[in-house]
Structures are given as structure tokens and as C-alpha cells.
């Protein structure tokens, strides 16, 4: 295996049906994500609702299945009533999490309109920092109740007769973090979240609730926090959140590209916590994981807004190695989708985002493309593939396979997709793919994001420095094929089976 790799695929080795909500995003009132990103009514590019039409078009390409809103750290000091009703009457407030001025010109109803515009589901957060459990339940009533109560009728008076029917709700944000407005210890948060959950589900029993898990594995309370809050809330919630940001602060590319083992470890630990609490409580219900903040973030560290509206905060510029990490992260999603059911890329515009705007247009960053390819070609069932690959040594990690792979198979359409990240820095790698049961007839398309410079990035001046190249497909004979995988690459193979057999 020193000079080549093998990939074994069997469509009988199914991990799980692929949850559609793995392809979500996150929009927070932070920096220019909302204002000058999604919403910019003064822009010549804005539509009648104030949405940037170029941003809308790019977001439709990414095709997010769900978007979390309005935060984030912002959530713990935010009162949703500030952002509804007549815009002229909405208060301007000092926003403490990011030291900015919040104009409240974009709120719950504008967010719902935005979600409908790009055909995505909304996920709303409730303030469990400075907010009360009554305020959380009131937001559910405002959004989801039919006419005939004060808050439902208030929504109607704001121009929205039909209920918004929001199904997914977050019980606060990162409440384990000392940086969080209204930070709580695990037991205190567990009690508050449980009581909020009860009221919210009394308002609408059909909703799904996401409990705050640990903010990262580096927290001293991880995973004890998760165990404690799960024990307090198990019968009332549906998901446990996890958050993670990674980066290459030490400029060590081989180690950075080995990050997927850390990501899998975080999922595995929390999956074990879920099994433990379910057994301890003798419960019949299952709770799943929601990775509702994930991304690369390490270069842009400016998060104090100077008490201005829409300050330029944490606008990360992504490069090729960042895109390869995003692709690996999404490989992990497919490999762990038996327990991980929701994931939200943080964030969607300007703030650590795949899209950057200026007054005249936008640029699609390198990380735009792996998300786009996964979203476009992932269907059906996730497969447990076997990879035999040469390895390399990564500092503080050890021996790491050169290839990171996931795959899916959709028997209904007769298609299968293979996602391959080559972590190597300089050498091509021959890869033999062997199908052990059903084999596709052809590889109908190949998309390859690759380059020799891990720091290569897209800019407004050079927006296509790092973009996928579409390569021709080919027929498959005798259930096997071989391709050459270039270094520093993400390759997507789209395969077609003969569905007549």
C-alpha cells in the first residue's frame, strides 16, 4: 500500500438514511451577516424586501436545508419583540455580545420571509440568558399559534395571517461558556431549559427542541455538562447541540489536514453520553446530535464592533486547505449520520462564511464549493466504506491515512457519490475502487477541487483561483476502476447504476 490506495464499496453496508438537515446554515446578528449581507435595502442590488439579490442567488446554489437564527452569543441578550412590528418604532440597542449597535430592522418576520425566499426551513433560538421561559414560550405562540390569542393576533397585525410553523427551536446558546450573557452552571441551565421546553411544547407539541451541549471539547466541563443537562431534560428535548471551530494557527498543514479524527472523536464521546443517559433513566426515547455551529475560524479574530451598526467582524478569508478541511468535516457528517441529524455551517454570509460581499458584488470563497458539491450530490443512504491507504505522520496526531472518504447510495435514482480528500502535499496517488456487490455502469461526472498551494484563495480581484474543475466520466468494467488522485485535492465522483437490472 506504499504507492497506491484501495477503496472497497458495498451498497449493503449502510450506516443510515442521510438526514436532509445535515446541510444547514447559521445566520447571526454579528458583523455583516445580516446587515450588508442578507439584508441591505439601500443597495442597488436589493429587492423589494431589502434582500441582496446576488446573495440570494448564491445561497440558493448552496441550497441550505435549514438555517439557525438569530444567534449565537447575540441570542442571550436579544428580546424578540424588539424586532417585530413597524420598523420606525423598533429600538436601536447596544448589543453587548459583539459591542455593536443593533438597529432591529431585521427580525423574526423578515427572517421567515428570507427562509421562504431561498426555500429553507427556519430554526429559531430562544434567549435563555437574559430572557425568561415565558418569553421563549411567547415566541412559539407568536410564530405558530392560529388566530385567536393576543400574540397570534399580534403577528397577524404585523402582516402574517398564516402561522410561521417553525418546527426547530434552540434552548439558548452556549450556556456553559463564561463569555455567555447570563451564563449558567449545568444544573441551573438544565432546570431552566426543562421548564422552557415544557412551556414551549405546551404552546405547540409538534416542535423539536435542541438542548445546549458543550461549546467545545476544550471546555473543562466537557462532557460532564452534557450528561448533567441531558439528565435534567431528557424527556422534553429532541437534540443535543455541539459546536466546534478549527484552524491552522501553527501553520502546520499536515496536522491541520488530519483534523477529521478530532471531529469524529467529539461525535463519538457525545454519542456515548446519549447512550449512557438513556440507559440510566431507563428511557424509551432517543435524542440525536445537532452540530449547529461548525466551521474553520482562526485568522480573523476581531469581534468588538466599536458600538457601530454592522461592523466588519471576523470576515475570514478561506484558502484551499480550509476547503479540504470543510470537505473532511462533511465526510464525517456522512459517516456519523446514524446519530448526527442536524448540522449548521456557521455562518452563511460575510462572517466566517463561504460568501463575502462588497457594495458591488460578492465572491464565492473556497469553502463554498465542497458544501455545494455535497449538497448537490448527496442522497439516499450513507455507506460504510473501507479505505486502505498509505499513511503519513502528523505532529501530535500520529499516523494518518492520506485519503479521507465518504460515500452515499440512492437506490431510487440508481446513483452513488464518492467524496475523496487527498491530504498529501505533493504526490499523486493511484486509487483503485472496488465494488463488492452492485457496481455502477458509469462514472457520469467528476468534480475536482485541487492545487499545489494550500494557501491559494479566491479574492474579488481573482474570484476563480480555487474552483472545481469538471472532468469527463467513464465506463466501469468488472466492478473496478482506477483513478489518479492529485495531492491537496477534493474529488467528487458521481456514479450511475443500471436501474433496469
Q: Which residues are catalytic?
A: 174, 293
Neighbours of 160 (CB within 10 A): 18
CB 325 within 8 A of CB 257: yes
Q: Which residues contact 426 (CB under 8 A, 6 or more apart)?
A: 452, 487
CB 420 within 8 A of CB 493: yes
Distances (CA, A) of 310 to 78, 90, 105, 203: 16, 17, 12, 34
- Burial label for 111, CB within 10 Å (0-12, 13-18, 19+), is buried
At 255 the three-state DSSP class reads helix
Q: Considering only CA atoms, give the Rg of the chain.
A: 23
Helices (H), 63-185: 108-117, 133-144, 150-157
DSSP state of 260: H
DSSP state of 81: G
State residue 440 phi and psi, 5-degree precision.
-70, 160
3-state helix, strand, coil in the chain (%, to 5): 25, 30, 45
Report d(CA 69, CA 210) in Å as an integer: 13
At 346 the three-state DSSP class reads strand
Which among 215, 172, 179 is positioned nearest to 196, based on CA atoms? Answer: 172
Report d(CA 258, CA 256) in Å as an integer: 5
Report d(CA 4, CA 388) in Å as an integer: 9
Which among 361, 309, 293, 345 is positioned nearest to 29, based on CA atoms? Answer: 309
DSSP state of 32: T
Continuous segment of H or E residues that includes residue 128: none
Report d(CA 119, CA 60) in Å as an integer: 8
Amino acid at each position: 500500500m506504499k504507492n497506491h490506495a484501495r477503496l472497497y464499496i458495498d451498497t449493503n453496508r449502510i450506516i443510515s438514511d442521510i438526514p436532509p438537515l445535515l446541510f444547514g446554515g447559521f445566520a447571526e446578528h454579528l458583523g455583516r451577516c445580516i446587515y450588508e449581507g442578507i439584508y441591505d435595502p439601500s443597495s442597488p442590488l436589493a429587492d423589494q424586501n431589502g434582500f441582496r439579490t446576488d446573495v440570494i442567488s448564491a445561497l440558493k446554489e448552496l441550497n441550505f436545508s435549514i438555517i439557525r437564527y438569530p444567534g449565537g452569543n447575540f441570542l442571550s441578550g436579544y428580546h424578540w419583540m424588539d424586532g417585530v412590528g413597524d420598523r420606525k418604532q423598533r429600538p436601536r440597542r447596544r448589543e453587548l455580545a459583539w459591542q455593536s449597535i443593533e438597529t432591529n430592522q431585521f427580525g423574526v418576520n423578515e427572517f421567515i420571509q428570507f427562509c421562504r425566499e431561498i426555500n429553507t426551513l427556519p430554526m429559531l433560538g430562544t434567549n435563555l440568558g437574559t430572557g425568561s421561559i415565558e418569553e421563549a414560550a411567547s415566541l412559539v405562540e407568536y410564530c405558530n399559534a392560529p388566530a385567536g390569542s393576543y400574540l397570534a393576533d399580534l403577528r397577524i397585525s404585523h402582516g402574517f395571517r398564516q402561522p410561521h410553523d417553525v418546527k426547530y427551536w434552540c434552548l439558548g446558546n452556549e450556556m456553559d461558556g463564561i463569555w455567555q450573557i447570563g451564563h449558567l452552571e449545568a444544573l441551573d441551565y438544565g432546570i431552566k431549559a426543562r421548564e422552557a421546553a415544557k412551556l414551549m411544547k405546551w404552546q405547540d407539541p409538534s416542535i423539536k427542541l435542541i438542548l445546549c451541549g458543550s461549546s467545545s471539547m476544550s471546555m473543562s466541563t466537557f462532557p460532564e455538562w452534557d450528561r448533567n443537562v441531558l439528565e435534567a431534560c431528557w424527556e422534553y428535548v429532541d437534540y443535543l447541540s455541539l459546536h466546534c471551530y478549527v484552524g491552522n494557527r501553527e501553520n502546520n498543514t499536515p496536522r491541520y489536514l488530519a483534523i477529521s479524527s478530532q471531529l469524529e472523536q467529539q461525535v463519538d464521546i457525545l454519542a456515548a453520553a446519549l447512550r449512557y443517559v438513556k440507559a440510566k433513566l431507563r428511557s424509551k426515547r432517543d435524542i440525536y446530535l445537532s452540530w449547529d455551529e461548525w466551521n474553520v475560524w482562526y485568522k480573523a479574530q476581531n469581534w468588538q464592533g466599536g458600538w457601530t451598526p454592522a461592523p466588519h467582524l471576523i470576515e475570514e478569508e478561506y484558502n484551499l486547505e480550509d476547503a479540504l478541511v470543510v470537505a473532511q468535516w462533511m465526510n464525517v457528517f456522512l459517516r456519523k449520520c446514524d446519530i448526527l441529524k442536524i448540522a449548521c455551517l456557521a455562518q452563511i454570509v460575510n462572517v466566517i462564511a463561504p460568501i463575502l460581499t462588497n457594495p458591488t458584488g460578492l465572491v464565492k470563497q473556497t469553502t463554498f464549493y465542497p458544501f455545494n458539491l455535497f449538497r448537490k450530490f448527496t442522497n439516499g443512504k450513507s455507506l460504510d466504506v473501507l479505505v486502505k491507504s498509505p499513511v503519513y505522520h502528523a505532529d501530535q496526531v500520529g499516523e494518518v491515512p492520506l485519503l479521507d472518504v465518504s460515500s452515499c447510495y440512492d437506490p431510487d435514482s440508481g446513483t452513488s457519490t464518492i467524496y475523496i480528500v487527498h491530504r498529501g502535499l505533493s504526490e499523486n496517488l493511484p486509487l483503485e475502487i472496488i465494488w463488492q456487490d452492485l457496481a455502477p455502469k458509469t462514472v457520469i461526472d467528476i468534480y475536482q477541487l485541487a492545487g499545489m498551494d494550500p494557501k491559494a484563495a479566491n479574492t474579488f480581484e481573482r474570484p476563480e483561483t480555487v474552483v472545481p474543475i469538471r472532468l469527463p466520466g467513464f465506463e466501469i468494467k468488472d466492478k473496478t476502476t482506477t483513478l489518479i488522485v492529485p495531492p491537496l485535492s477534493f474529488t467528487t465522483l458521481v456514479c450511475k447504476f443500471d436501474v433496469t437490472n
